[in-house]
Amino acid sequence: MPSLPGFAFSGLPAKPLTRAVIAELFHSLMTEHLGHQRYFLFGGDIGGAVCGWMAGLFPDQVAGVHMIHPPFPSSFDDPPLTEDERAFLDWEEKFDEGDRGYSEIMGTRPDTIAAALIDSPVGLAAWIIDKLRDWSDCGGDVEARFTKQDLATLVSLYWFTDSIGTSFRQYQDWGWNDVRPPITVPAGFTLSTELSAPGLPRSIAERVCSNVRMWNEPRRGGHFLAVEEPDLMAEELSVFFSLAA
């Protein structure tokens, strides 16, 4: 069985891997190591969440942030929910009831599932490709969006680096995250077509981001939008950069 570098099977790590910690690491990479005093951000899912933290923590250095998954506020109490917001949140909760099994086990029993996946390339492939099929804009045919070479490459990245276990840290350490600072830098959004995106009210993002410059719903490309629709995403980013500059 391959080793699990940096992955402990008992107890919590000394320093939880929070979004703020990751944000500080990437900010250090951009400013101290690469020498950029100002930079733009782009991301989705956890990467987008980290971008939000970077924008909140370092507004003087972040020229703008673009995401395909809008950030949610820590609370919807003030102001109260609108009808559209409540309808969307109710729908998302219902959708999550049938989809969140993966996150439940990664957040509560990460060592157990990691031991199984790191011991079986077929199991690892099934775990990863399940989400590529379910969350992409592929209509149930994963190869409509990803070639066999794409799939083999992605699975190999986790297999040969023994990193599937450490990738679960974000779920295990979720409870250690603080409240994210407000995002005041220019913000842009290109929503994916995955099931949780249609109907997402712009007002949810505006509860977090006070300077939304761009909001687009192209209705193609799923959770992995930059991979599924690279030309579209390149054009969206070019437009946003010009609006935020």
Q: Is the pLDDT score of 62 beyond 90?
A: yes
What is the per-residue pLDDT for 181?
A: 95
**For the whole model, what pTM was predicted?**
0.88
Place of tokens 């959004």: 189
What is the per-residue pLDDT for 15?
A: 75
Going by C-alpha positions, the residue among 195, 188, 199 that lies closest to residue 237 is 188
Residues 73-120: pLDDT tens digits? 988 988 899 999 999 999 888 888 888 899 999 999 999 999 999 999
pLDDT band, very low/low/confident/very high, at 6 (cuts 50, 70, 90): very low
pLDDT band, very low/low/confident/very high, at 1 (cuts 50, 70, 90): very low
Contacts 24+ apart (CB under 8 A), 3-11: 3/162, 4/114, 4/118, 4/162, 4/165, 4/166, 5/162, 5/166, 6/166, 7/111, 7/114, 7/165, 7/166, 9/111
Q: Is the pLDDT score of 8 beyond 80?
A: no
Handedness of CA 98, 70, 30, 176 (dihedral sign): negative
pLDDT band, very low/low/confident/very high, at 14 (cuts 50, 70, 90): low
> What is the number of other CB atoms lying within 10 angstroms of the CB of residue 178?
10
Which of 66-70, 170-174, 197-201, 237-241 is least confident?
A: 197-201
What is the per-residue pLDDT for 193?
A: 87
pLDDT band, very low/low/confident/very high, at 11 (cuts 50, 70, 90): very low
Residues 126-168: pLDDT tens digits? 999 999 999 999 999 999 999 999 999 999 999 999 999 999 9
Q: Is the pLDDT score of 10 beyond 60?
A: no
Residues 197-234: pLDDT tens digits? 558 999 999 999 999 999 999 989 999 999 999 999 99
pLDDT band, very low/low/confident/very high, at 196 (cuts 50, 70, 90): low
Domains along the sequence of the chain with CATH: 19-70+83-244 (3.40.50.1820)
Residues 43-55 have a mean pLDDT of 96
Q: Is the pLDDT score of 125 beyond 50?
A: yes
